Amino acid sequence: MGSWGAIIMGFFGGLFAAMTLYWQWHFAGPILAVPFIVSAVIGLAAVAILRMPGSGVVPSEKAARAIQWSSIAEGIGLFLASNIVINLHRPDLLLPAMALVVGLHFLPIAFAAAFRPFYILGVALILAAVIGSISAPNGGTIAGFTAAACLWIAAILAVFRDQRAKRGA
């Protein structure tokens, strides 16, 4: 929701993009670091905002608990989803399954924080997962890059939101 969330979403956007480059396009080597340059730029902007005076965006206690429990559930869900698709011998569904879990993880946070943009982000990731699941053979590419783009856009918007909150304080 703020700069800390932007750092996390920016990193996971880079991770989705790098995994897509590796698993779907079979790239290897230093090229896999390129998505993390975008993540680093977002992270540097977020750190600059964090260093500004003021409290910025601070989640309520209810929202903080939802973030904590939803993130724990996301980790468990990613583990389960990846094991299920691998054991079903469907590695083409790995990125869509991951996008689905990440999208679902945003919905309880959106509800607890009463923050509509997280509903939009969650639904966008879920749609990316669904479209990726039914779009063989390029479904993983669609789901992976769409998830990366959604997370990067959300991270950039979170940095601007935190900056506005700090300037308004």
Q: What is the DSSP string of 13-48?
A: HHHHHHHHHHHTT---GGGGGHHHHHHHHHHHHHHH
pLDDT score, position 136: 79
Task: Provide the pLDDT for residue 97.
Answer: 98
- Residue 5: pLDDT over 80: yes
Q: Give the distance, in angstroms, between the CA of residue 104 and the centroid of all CA atoms in the same chain.
A: 11
- As a whole number, mean pLDDT of residues 30-45 equals 98
Q: Sorting pLDDT into bands at 50, 70 and 90, what band is 1?
A: confident
Mean pLDDT of 91-111: 97
pLDDT confidence tier of residue 68, bands split at 50, 70 and 90: very high
At residue 137, the pLDDT reads 87
DSSP 3-state helix, strand, coil percentages of the chain (rounded to 5)?
85, 0, 15
Q: Domain locations in the chain?
A: 3-168
- Residue 85 and residue 98: Cα distance in Å, rounded? 10
- In this predicted structure, the answer to whether residue 169 has a pLDDT above a threshold of 70 is no
In the block, tokens 């669904």 appear at: 130
- Does residue 157 register a pLDDT over 80? yes
List, for residues 13-34, the tens digit of each pLDDT value: 999 999 999 999 999 999 999 9
pLDDT band, residue 159 (cuts 50/70/90):
very high
pLDDT at 168: 80
Chain mean pLDDT for the chain:
96
pLDDT band, very low/low/confident/very high, at 114 (cuts 50, 70, 90): very high
Mean pLDDT of all residues in 118-136? 96
Would you say residue 124 has pLDDT above 90? Answer: yes
